[in-house]
Amino acid sequence: MAERVGVIGAGYVGLTSAACFTHLDHQVICVDNDQSKVDALDRGEITIAEPGLAELVHDGLSCRRLRFSTAPETLSDVDFVLLCLPTPKGDGGNADVRILEEVVATLPGLLKTGCVVVTKSTVPVGTGARLPELLGTPDLPVVSNPEFLREGHAVEDFLNPDRIVLGSTEENRRAAERVAALYGETDAPVWFTDPASAELAKYASNAFLALKVSYVNILAELCEHYDADIREVGRLMGLDPRIGPAFLSPGPGWGGSCLPKDTAALLRTAEHAGVDFGILRDAMKANARQQAAVTRKIRRAVTGTSDGSLKGVRIGLLGLAFKAGTGDLRDSPALAIARELARGGAILTAYDPGVDSAGTDLVQVVDDPYLVAKDATALVVLTEWPEFRELDWDRLAAAAERAIVVDARNLLDPAAVARAGFAHTGLGTTPNR
């Protein structure tokens, strides 16, 4: 059944939810307090690079099922309102819910009785239990419906979720069922639970992914000491269905706008409760060490020692984003490594298919992968864009001053780059002696 849905916040989660619910035949009004953003969206201009998102927004605008506004009053006749507001990292790693709380306090004056308030933002455990108090009325049932969208796959993940989680009190169970119905027919498990479990499941999932990647990054280091190959070890671990093959690739560390923030917030939540979740602290420390380890590896490949000087050394970076499929530089380990290399005196050029070319103090971003090799002493793969595998390595070798490649994503075929004359170093694939 087509419903009237309001979305507050036209960021990554809000816009994806608005566009996808429009696609699922609902009538959606998306409210954001940024006038220029709303104007741009009204014109169909979308700055978030998510495959399929622009098409869904355009379709929604042209069939008039999707509207954007800065006026909260436009929410007066919606049956559901989705809170898609930022919860940035606040003091001491806690998620900062001030924006969300301010908006929630205004809702009783805006919404009609019975409108379901749906929390999509990642909020600290216990927020769902506090919202009714903030709303000050039992007439607006609250349901927690955390999102599990990966950047670069947000539309795909929204329309083909692997689970739909709905947290509510027993009294609001009917409201939770109505939220579930918004998603239409789905093969995914639709899970009704209490608000705290829904909220915790979100943090627990992201922090577990962070743990998994830190685990494999440390294993990769160990492989180098025992002549083992992390690609083999990961493959063999992944054959156990209890472990699964995903998130077992070593890299420069986990980054982005979610894993670092949510892992730190879960640690804080545990500390508040007096629960020792030191394994999360270890994973965070290991993640910082991983960036330093990759930087040392690059130094060693270029200078022969892990503390050799990089002064005036030209290094070409393939990738800057925190992962492939996005141009997002937030908390990107690649950027942190670039910063370290620049601090050591290296002259950096970078190419990333998701990042616009521009010059910064740190690194010259170019729009052609072959330009990064020009007079370079070394090339470093920092983001796992599949197209880097298809590069013409003979051409790169011809442009470079020295043929050295450090593959911090184990993306390349070592034999192919070796054929072009490159000295190749991966992570956990070559002995560290």
Binding site for ligand UGA (CB under 6 A): 122, 147-151, 206, 209, 213, 247-249, 251, 254-256, 258-259, 322-323
- 32 marked ligand binding residue: yes
| Catalytic site positions | 258
- Cβ 396 to ligand UGA shortest distance, Å: 23
- 140 marked ligand binding residue: no
- Cβ 240 to ligand UGA shortest distance, Å: 16
Q: Which is nearer to ligand UGA, 72 or 333 (CB)?
A: 333
- Cβ 69 to ligand UGA shortest distance, Å: 25
- 149 marked ligand binding residue: yes
Q: Is residue 169 within 8 Å of 33, Cβ to Cβ?
A: no
- 323 marked ligand binding residue: yes
Q: Which is nearer to ligand UGA, 135 or 298 (CB)?
A: 298
- 87 marked ligand binding residue: yes
Q: Which is nearer to ligand UGA, 206 or 425 (CB)?
A: 206
Distance CA 260, CA 286 (A): 12
E strand map for 377-422: 378-381, 404-407
| Cα 261–chain centre separation | 10
Q: Which is nearer to ligand UGA, 322 or 393 (CB)?
A: 322
**Six-digit token string for 179:** 């939220």
DSSP 95: B
- In a 13 Å sphere around the CA of 419, the CA atoms on its Cβ side amount to 9
Q: Is residue 49 within 8 Å of 55, Cβ to Cβ?
A: no
Q: Which is nearer to ligand UGA, 3 or 151 (CB)?
A: 151
- Cβ 90 to ligand UGA shortest distance, Å: 17
- 277 marked ligand binding residue: no
Q: Which is nearer to ligand UGA, 27 or 122 (CB)?
A: 122
Q: Is 181 helix (H, G, I), strand (E, B) or coil?
A: helix
- 130 marked ligand binding residue: no
- Cβ 128 to ligand UGA shortest distance, Å: 17
- 261 marked ligand binding residue: yes
Cα-based distances in Å from 325 to 252, 366, 410: 16, 18, 17
- Cβ 323 to ligand UGA shortest distance, Å: 4
Annotated binding site for NAD(+): 32, 37, 87, 122, 151, 261, 330
Annotated binding site: 32, 37, 87, 122, 148-151, 202, 247-251, 255, 261, 323, 330
Annotated binding site for substrate: 148-151, 202, 247-251, 255, 323
